[in-house]
Structure 1
Amino acid sequence: MKNWTTSESEKTVEQTPLAKMNSAKEHLYNYHDSYQEEQLIYQHLLHLVQMESPDRMIERFRALFIERANYPEPEILPILDKIIASKTAQEDFKFFLNRCCHILVNRWYMQPQLHQGIMDLISLFDLSPNTSGVNSFRFREIRRLRELVNIFIESDQYLFLRRFSQVVNQTPKLNSRKDNQPLVNLISRYPYLYEHCLISEDSTFEQQETVRHFQAQVQKKFEIDLSQYVTYKVRRVQILRKVSLSEANQILRPINNPTLLSDSDLYSTLKQFIGKSEGNYTYQERAQQIIQYSSKTAKFHDFKDELYDYLITSVDGKYGKRLFNTRLYNYLQDTLPDANDYNVNESLIVRTCSKLLDFLVVNNQTSLQHSTFLDLISNQGSLTTISLLVKVLLICRKVKPHLEKRLAILFNHYETATTNSIDWLVATLEQLNVAMSIHFGHIDLSFFKRFC
C-alpha cells in the first residue's frame, strides 16, 4: 500500500510603596464590602439552576443582568445594586458576572441535551435593556449596570466563555476548510488548544474542570474515529486485492475521514510518525537515544551539539544549508551559555526545549514574531515542520503545554482569518492533531507499521 489517494489616558504620579499599600488595602476593603452580596447571588443561582429549566434561567438572567427589572425575587435587585455601586466594580464586576455565567454553564454542560442553553445564555449579551417606562432613578442603575456588562463583553472572560459555548455546540464538519469560514470556527477540532483558548487565568477550579472534561471527551472521540478510519482504509486495500470495487463497497461500510487532510496527506502523516522516518529508527526510538545520552555524564555544551544534530535531520538539506541550520546552531549555542560546563539535568533540558519552541514557533503573545515558523512551512511544508516540533516534545514531554501555548497564540492571532487564506495553518493544526494522538494519546495504530 503506497498511498490512500481517493479522489490610561493621563499619566499619574508614581505611587510610593506606602501609597500602593494603602491603595491595595482600600481595594481589598471595598472588595469585601460587596463580597457577601456576591456570595448571596451565587448561592441564589446555584439553587435555582438545579430546579429550573434553561429557558427559565435565561429569562431570569436577562431580567437580572440585562433589564434589571421584573425579577421574580425583587429582593435580589438591591443586592445587585450594591455590587455595581462598589468602588472596585469597574475592575471586579467582570469576574463576578463570569462566575454567575459559569454557575449555569457548568450545570448544563453535564447534560448534552441542555447544551443549547449555553449558547442562548451567551447570546443574551447581544441584547440591550428595554428602557421604556423606566423612571429616571432606575435608568441610572440600568445605565451603570450596562456599562459594567459592556466591560465584561470586552474582557477575556467573555471571550473564553463565548469560545467554550461555540465548542460545546459545534459539530465539526468534515468539509469545514472548504467552507472558507473564520478559523475560530474550527477550534472544536483541536483539543490540545482548549486549556489556552478556553481557560482564563482567573477561571475557577470548576470552570477548569469543565473544560478539561470536555477536552478529554473530544480527544477520545477523535482517537476512536481515527483508529476506525485507518482500519477501514487498510482493510479496503486488502479486500480490493481479492474482489472488485463494487464487491468491496458491499463488504465494508464507508467511514468518513475525521481530519481535514486529504487521504494522501493523512497517509503521509501517519507514515511519518509511525514508520521509520529517522533512518532505521522511528521518532520515538531516536528520541530515546538522545534521552539516554543526556542521562549519562555529558556536559550541557555536548548535549546542545547532540540536540542540534538530532534536529537537523528533519530539515530539508538545501533549505537548511542556506541559512536555517546556522541560525539553529547559533541559537542553541546562545542558550544558557553559563551552564555549558554543567552536567545535563532535567531543568536544563526543559529550559532549552522551551526556548527552542519559542524560536521555532512564536516567542510570546506581545511580539507575535513567528517568521521562522512561516519560513519553515513555506520552504519545506507543514509536515516536516511539525516533525521538528514533535522531536522536541519526545525528548522533553514536560514542554508539551508550552508548545500548545505557542500554537494557541497563533490560533488567537489568526482566528478571524478565513481558512482558505491560512490553509498552511489549518494543515499544521490537523497534522499536529494526528501526531499528538499517536505519541501522547491512547490510540493504537501499531498494525499500520506493516504498510509504512
Structure 2
Amino acid sequence: MNSFDSFDGWVENASPAENFLYQHLRYHRSKESEDAIINRFFKLFIEALNYPDPEVWQVVNRLANAAESDRQFKYTLNRCCYTLINYWYSQPRCHAAIPRLIELFEDLPTDDPGLAASRRIRELVARFTQTDQYEALSRLRQVFGEPDADNAYNAQHHQPVGTLLRHYPFLYDHSLLTKDSDHEQKRSIQNLKQQAEQRLGINLARYNSYRLGHSRKPIENPTRLSDQQLNQALDHYTGKSYEAKSYKEFASWFSTYSRSVKTFREFKEELVNDYLLLPIAAEIPKYRNNQFSRALREWARATLTDFDEQRLNSFTLVELIRQLLIFLLLQNRRRPIFVIFRRLLEDMGYTLTTGLLLRIVLLCSAARPALERCFSVMFNLHETRQRGDVPWLVESLEHTNIALVTNFGGFGFCH
C-alpha cells in the first residue's frame, strides 16, 4: 500500500459519524473521476447545497451543529481533504487534482443559501480557511502545483516566496504538517519529502559528475544559484575544508574527542572555540574574538548551567544544539527576528554561514529537525513576500538544501 493512501481503514479516534463520512468519500473516490469527486466535495462543503445523498448531508449537518463543532469541524474537514489527496497521490495521473481540490477554498460563496444548515456549514468552512490546517494545505498546493519556469538568471522576482516550497524538502515536515497531524499524515509527508530529496540528490550528483568531467552529457544546474555559486557550494560542502578534513570528518573527529571532556561546561567551551569558531577564524581571522564570537561564548556559558558539572550525555547535547540553532537562526523562538543570521550572511557569506549550521547538525543529527523547524519558521513568515524582496532568504534556502542533501543523502559525491 502506498504510504499516501492513508484512510483505507477505520480512522482512529474518529466518531462513527466522521468515519461514515470518510467511508463515503473513499467509496466515491475510486468510482468517479477527479472532476466528479471535486464537484461532489464542492456541493457538500463549499456550496453546501443540493448534495445528492440525503444521508450524507444529514451526517455533515449533524457534525456542523454538534456542541464541539467550533473546535472539531476543522479537523474533520481536513481529514476529508486528505482522504482524497492521499488516494490521488498514489496515482500519478491524478496529481493535478490535488491543487484543484485545495483551490476550492479560495473562492467561497457569499450569497445567502437560504438554509440554516447550509449557512452553518459555510460558516465553519470559512473559519477553516483561517486555521493552521488550511495553511498547511495551501502549502501542499504549492508542492503539487505546476512548477514555474524560473532559473538562476531569469528568476520570477515578483512571485511569492511560498511558490518555491516544492524545491526545499527539508521544510516539508514543519510547513506541511500541523500539531494535530495524525501518524498517517506524517508518514505521507515523509514519503513526499524523501522523494523530493532523492530527486534533488540525484540531480546534484549528476551535475557534479558532469562539471568534474566524469560525465560527457551536459546536466542543467538544478538550483537557483548561478553555476559559479553552485560549484563553490559543492566544493565547500563536499570537499576538504578546515584542517584538510571534510565536514563529516571534522564532525566525527570532534565527536570522538569530546568523549574525553570531563564536564558539560568544558564541552561547551570547546564546542564554541574549537569546533564552531576556529574553522571560521581560519578564513576570517577577526572571528577569533569579534562581537559575534564573544556573544556566542557568553550564550554558551549561560545555557543549561544546571548541567555544568555533569558529564555530557545525549540529552544535554541535543538540547544544547537545539537551543544553539534557535539562537543563531531565530534569536528568539517566540518573536523571531533573524538579526544574528542576517548579519552572519552579510559578513561571512552564505557558504561559511551555512557551513556553521552544517557542522552543528553533523555533530548531532538528532537535532536536524530543530534546524528544519527554524528554517520553516523563517519561510512561513515570509511566504507571502515577493522573492525579490528577500533574496537573502532564497539564497540561504538554496545553500541549506545543498549542504543537507550532499552530507545526509548518501549520494556519493565525488571530488
Q: What TM-score comes out, normalization by structure 1 length?
A: 0.84
Deviation at 1:259, TM superposition (A): 0.8
Question: Would you say the 8 A contact 1:174–1:257 is kept in 2?
Answer: no
Deviation at 1:174, TM superposition (A): 4.6
Please name the residue that 2:328 is paired with.
360
Question: Would you say the 8 A contact 1:106–1:206 is kept in 2?
Answer: no
Please point out which of 383, 405, 427 is paired with 2:351: 383
Counterpart CA distance in 1 for 2:150 and 2:105 is 31
For residues 24-71 of structure 1, the C-alpha deviation after alignment (integer angstroms, 9 at most, x for no partner) is xxxxxxxx9x93222211111111112111111011111111222222
Deviation at 1:292, TM superposition (A): 0.9
Please name the residue that 1:26 is paired with.
none
Deviation at 1:328, TM superposition (A): 0.7
Question: Would you say the 8 A contact 1:358–1:406 is kept in 2?
Answer: yes
Q: What are the residue-to-residue correspondences of 1:265-414 with 2, within 5 Å?
A: 265-309=229-273, 310-315=275-280, 316-318=284-286, 321-363=289-331, 365-414=333-382
Please point out which of 169, 173, 178 is paired with 2:155: 178
Q: Percent identity?
A: 34
Please name the residue that 1:161 is paired with.
137
Question: Would you say the 8 A contact 1:353–1:399 is kept in 2?
Answer: yes
**Counterpart residue identity of residue 201, structure 2:** E
**Counterpart residue identity of residue 384, structure 2:** T
Report the count of equivalent residues: 397
Deviation at 1:206, TM superposition (A): 2.4
Please point out which of 186, 191, 200 is paired with 1:213: 191
**Counterpart residue identity of residue 238, structure 2:** I
Counterpart CA distance in 1 for 2:288 and 2:83 is 52
Counterpart CA distance in 2 for 1:119 and 1:365 is 32
Deviation at 1:298, TM superposition (A): 2.4
Q: What are the residue-to-residue correspondences of 1:89-104 with 2, within 5 Å?
A: 89-104=69-84
Unaligned runs of 5+ in 2: 1-12
Range 83-92 or range 320-329, more displaced: 320-329
Q: Structure 2 vs 1, CA of residues 314 and 417 (structure 1 numbering), >3 Å: closer, same or farther?
A: farther
Confirm whether residue 52 of structure 1 aligns to residue 32 of structure 2. yes
**Counterpart residue identity of residue 339, structure 1:** F
Please point out which of 220, 238, 241 is paired with 1:256: 220
For residues 375-411 of structure 1, the C-alpha deviation after alignment (integer angstroms, 9 at most, x for no partner) is 1111111211111111111111110000100010000
The runs of at least 4 aligned residues of structure 1 exceeding 6 Å deviation read: none
Please name the residue that 1:38 is paired with.
18
Q: Structure 2 vs 1, CA of residues 264 and 406 (structure 1 numbering), >3 Å: closer, same or farther?
A: same
**Counterpart residue identity of residue 234, structure 1:** L
Question: Would you say the 8 A contact 1:365–1:409 is kept in 2?
Answer: no
Counterpart CA distance in 2 for 1:58 and 1:128 is 14
Question: Would you say the 8 A contact 2:321–2:360 is kept in 1?
Answer: yes
Unaligned runs of 5+ in 1: 1-31, 239-251
SS at match of 2:334: coil
Question: Would you say the 8 A contact 1:364–1:406 is kept in 2?
Answer: no
Range 316-325 or range 261-270, more displaced: 316-325
Deviation at 1:364, TM superposition (A): 5.2
Question: Would you say the 8 A contact 2:51–2:57 is kept in 1?
Answer: yes
SS at match of 1:348: helix
Counterpart CA distance in 2 for 1:413 and 1:321 is 33
Question: Would you say the 8 A contact 1:156–1:200 is kept in 2?
Answer: yes
For residues 197-220 of structure 1, the C-alpha deviation after alignment (integer angstroms, 9 at most, x for no partner) is 001111122222221111111110
Deviation at 1:321, TM superposition (A): 3.1
Deviation at 1:79, TM superposition (A): 1.4
Please name the residue that 1:73 is paired with.
53
Which protein shows a greater Rg?
1
Q: What are the residue-to-residue correspondences of 1:236-247 with 2, within 5 Å?
A: none
RMSD: 2.0
Please point out which of 131, 148, 153 is paired with 2:124: 148
**Counterpart residue identity of residue 155, structure 1:** T
Question: Would you say the 8 A contact 2:150–2:156 is kept in 1?
Answer: no
Deviation at 1:299, TM superposition (A): 1.5
Please name the residue that 2:44 is paired with.
64
**Counterpart residue identity of residue 254, structure 1:** P
